[in-house]
Amino acid sequence: MIITVTSDKGGVGKTTTAVHLAAYMNTLAPTVLIDGDPIRSALKWSRNGSGNGLPFKVITHAQMVTQARNFQHIVVDTEGEPSEDDLKDLAENCDLLVIPAVPEAAAVDGLIETLAKLQKMNFTRYRVLLTMVPPKPKTDGDRLRAKLIEEGIPVFQADIPRLTAFDKAYADGVAVYDVKDDRNAQRGWEAYAGAGKEIANG
């Protein structure tokens, strides 16, 4: 399965999502993460820290030709704000396009732009994943979810909470479940595992 993570808005947890979906898919079958972002955020993540590192391989687009065939699942972390042509290529060459969306006004504008492009090309194999969802009693996540459902936009049932554990995971070069001394680390992993199960179950 090829899962591509993309967004027209930066700062929505695109790389965090790619890393943790790859971590989940790797529990099912060998998985590789392709870092297609010029910033190389996923590669940097994999090289941080001095511990066990990520449980899957991270490669560049250039390495994809020779190495991707060795894996059953491929997760692609794309560049931010892809052009319409690039988005079309990404969409046509994956099994599922995952669009992270933060329930904030500026981020929702980027989401709307991405969805408009997909609708223009009549592409339907995508799903929105709410990320960095603020804790209760704030209702921003619930409101965005309700609006998307009302508009007929496919949305993951799982959503990803706003947690400092993800920042620690990046700094340590690990998946969030390996973060020490953070009581929310397991909660962060369970959220992404929930999204991963939705993908695996179709």
Percent of the residues in the chain that have a pLDDT greater than 90, as a whole number: 62
On whether residue 104 sits in a domain, the answer given is yes
pLDDT in tens, 155-165: 999 999 999 99
107 confidence band (pLDDT: 50, 70, 90)? low
Return all residues near 126 (Cβ < 8 A) that are at least 6 apart: 91, 96, 97, 98, 99, 118, 154
Q: How would DSSP label each residue in 70-109?
A: G-SEEEEEPPSS--HHHHHHHHHT-SEEEEEE-SSHHHHH
Total domain count for the chain? 1
Q: Is the pLDDT of residue 100 over 80?
A: yes
Q: Whole-number mean pLDDT of the chain?
A: 91
For the entire predicted model, the pTM comes to 0.94
pLDDT in tens, 37-55: 888 999 999 999 876 799 9
CA–CA dist 146, 141 (Å, integer)? 9
Answer with the residue of higher pLDDT: 97 or 108: 97
> Which residue range is the domain that position 104 belongs to?
2-196
Q: Is the pLDDT of residue 114 over 80?
A: yes
Answer with the residue of higher pLDDT: 12 or 21: 21
On whether residue 182 sits in a domain, the answer given is yes
Q: Is the pLDDT of residue 106 over 70?
A: no
The tokens describing 150, both together, are 């009302």
pLDDT of residue 167: 96
Main-chain phi, psi angles of 124, to 5 degrees: -120, -5
On whether residue 192 sits in a domain, the answer given is yes
On whether residue 202 sits in a domain, the answer given is no
Paired residues of 57 in beta bridges: 32
- What does each C-alpha distance from 33 to 106, 112, 119, 129, 174 come to in angstroms? 28, 26, 27, 18, 14
CA–CA dist 31, 55 (Å, integer)? 9
On whether residue 30 sits in a domain, the answer given is yes
Give me the residue label for tokens 């979810």: 145
pLDDT in tens, 117-155: 888 898 999 999 999 999 888 888 999 999 899 989 999
pLDDT of residue 51: 65
pLDDT of residue 30: 96
pLDDT in tens, 66-91: 888 889 999 999 988 788 888 889 89
130: left (phi over 0), alpha (psi -120 to 50) or beta: beta
On whether residue 15 sits in a domain, the answer given is yes
Answer with the residue of higher pLDDT: 21 or 136: 21
On whether residue 69 sits in a domain, the answer given is yes
Mean pLDDT confidence for 55-64: 89
On whether residue 201 sits in a domain, the answer given is no
**Residue 122's domain is classified under what CATH number?**
3.40.50.300
